[in-house]
Structure 1
Amino acid sequence: MMPPVSRDTALLLDIDGTLLDMARSPERVIVPVDLLRALDRLARDLSGALAFVSGRSLVSIDKLFAPLRPAAIGAHGGEIRSAGGRVLRAPPVPESVRDIFVRLSRSTPGLLLEDKGVGLALHYRLAPEAKPMLTAAMEENASLFEDEKVHIQYGKAVIDARPFGVDKGSAVARLARQKPFAGRTILFGGDDTTDLDVFRVLPRLGGHGFSVGRRFPGADHVFASPRLVRQWLVQLAETGVGAS
């Protein structure tokens, strides 16, 4: 069952695959105008307790949702922006790891390397036949990744590299201690394996969550698609969040 949203809720939302339909490349996603308006209204109704939790960089997030600029977690937790605008960034992955990802991105047409500053993402949505080669390359370099303290994670047609200790769950726990999120009931929505870290910390934070496309452990509700998530948010903005 979907938990109710009140003025004491903190709404934390993944972007790609949760709010927005997946596209052939990250730059091709579309943000519907009614969604942007709904998010702006909800951010005001929740006194600023709305945040994006994404694998995208903060620069990419802000470009997508301009002029909206709420609190946000970018690069899978490598960047954390408070509601007041203060940004914390983890150190970037080492050049040795970057070199491997650059070389792999040039090995097959259709591979796309996304440089997030803190981390890297190698997208193979346009070259699915490259997945076995990429997986083998990750395994061959496992020792180097461990020595460089870099975590490799597989998502939907993407392989991410980020520093050890950087994940969405840890970042959400940190944001939850800050104003205006502190003392509120967190409601998080996500759709991919990188969101599992958030679902794991929700019980400790007293929060709730919904997943998209499939049920994740700890999810209270499942939306079949991002379109239905958007419909819910638009309706919520139109009717207004309930009193606590």
Structure 2
Amino acid sequence: MSSLPLPPDLDALDREGPLALFLDFDGTLVDIAPTPDGIAVPAELAQALCHLRDRLGGRLALVSGRALDDLERHLGPLAIARAGSHGSDCRAADGTVLGAAPAGLPETLLAAIHDFAASEGFDTEDKPHGAALHFRSNPSLEGKGLAFAEHFASEHGLQVKRGKCVIELVASGADKAAAVRNIMQAAPFHGALPVFVGDDVTDEDGMRAAAELGGFGIAVGERPSDNARYSLESPAAVQHWLGL
């Protein structure tokens, strides 16, 4: 169990001043699954998120490692601010691009990553900003995958992002801190108190940016966090706190 306290009531926080809420997806709003496509998304989640957006005066954003079209495949089209591909693809609620569009990896690099994955037993996932090595079906592959990713990243000027049984190679500048900063510059978020809720190490960037802008982070699940002020034990607890 986390040693961090539970967060204050959401509506009470919003009454203290405008609140801007940033939510991770996998492991935060929905439970982690053995494969990225294996998640179970409650049928009412999309509508509930739209209601939450309205409660917050539009200041709700989803920030995910998934590509935006992948998020839409699971949730449907949502008129909610969102950032996919670890923050490298940011959109306002109306779909307007915020910041620069994500830069994908060259085909030669993607082919090399696929060759490694096929030879070592990883599952791969191509993304607009890079590629992911999944090893949930065989956690013992973590060390081998990380060694490959760090060497490959240093050779090609990439960044390594680690998550729960996933290692990603991404173009430089793809992180959730950038997503928070980009979205917070736009209406209706500008001037509000940012709160970032996430379950994984990649969410620490978003929490750090929220804290730098006067807000705070909420860690989900039993894990250490250097940047969270509060914690919630599971996606079910997150949904309850949000009133979904």
Aligned position for 1:25: 35
Verify the 8 A CA contact 2:104 2:171 in the aligned structure 1. yes
TM-score, normalised via structure 2 length: 0.87
Rounded to whole Å, the distance in 1 between the matches of 2:63 and 2:148 is 28
The within-5 A match list for 1:29-178 is 29-87=39-97, 88-109=100-121, 111-144=122-155, 148-178=156-186
* CA shift digits 1:168-206 (9 cap, x unpaired): 101211110101111111121011111111122222211
Aligned position for 1:190: 198
Indicate the SS of the match to 1:42.
helix
Verify the 8 A CA contact 2:58 2:80 in the aligned structure 1. yes
Change (3 A) 1:47 1:130: same
Indicate the SS of the match to 2:114.
helix
Aligned position for 2:234: 225
Rounded to whole Å, the distance in 2 between the matches of 1:139 and 1:12 is 29
Rounded to whole Å, the distance in 1 between the matches of 2:47 and 2:149 is 41
Amino acid at match of 2:239: R
Rounded to whole Å, the distance in 2 between the matches of 1:143 and 1:215 is 27
Rounded to whole Å, the distance in 2 between the matches of 1:154 and 1:114 is 14
Rounded to whole Å, the distance in 1 between the matches of 2:39 and 2:49 is 17
Rounded to whole Å, the distance in 2 between the matches of 1:130 and 1:219 is 29
RMSD: 1.9
Amino acid at match of 1:231: H
Change (3 A) 1:30 1:5: farther
Amino acid at match of 1:80: C
* CA shift digits 1:107-133 (9 cap, x unpaired): 244x32111112211111012232232
Amino acid at match of 2:137: L
Verify the 8 A CA contact 1:42 1:50 in the aligned structure 2. yes
Shift of residue 135, structure 1, vs aligned partner: 2.5
Q: Between the two proteins, what is the percent identity of the paired residues?
A: 38
> Which stretch of structure 1 is more off in the superposition, 98-107 or 132-141?
132-141
TM-score, normalised via structure 1 length: 0.87
Aligned position for 2:3: none
Shift of residue 92, structure 1, vs aligned partner: 1.1
Q: Give ranges in structure 2 of 5+ residues lacking alignment.
A: 1-5
Rounded to whole Å, the distance in 2 between the matches of 1:129 and 1:151 is 22
Verify the 8 A CA contact 1:83 1:179 in the aligned structure 2. no
Tell me how many residue pairs correspond in the alignment.
Answer: 231
Verify the 8 A CA contact 2:161 2:169 in the aligned structure 1. yes
> Which stretch of structure 1 is more off in the superposition, 50-59 or 26-35?
26-35
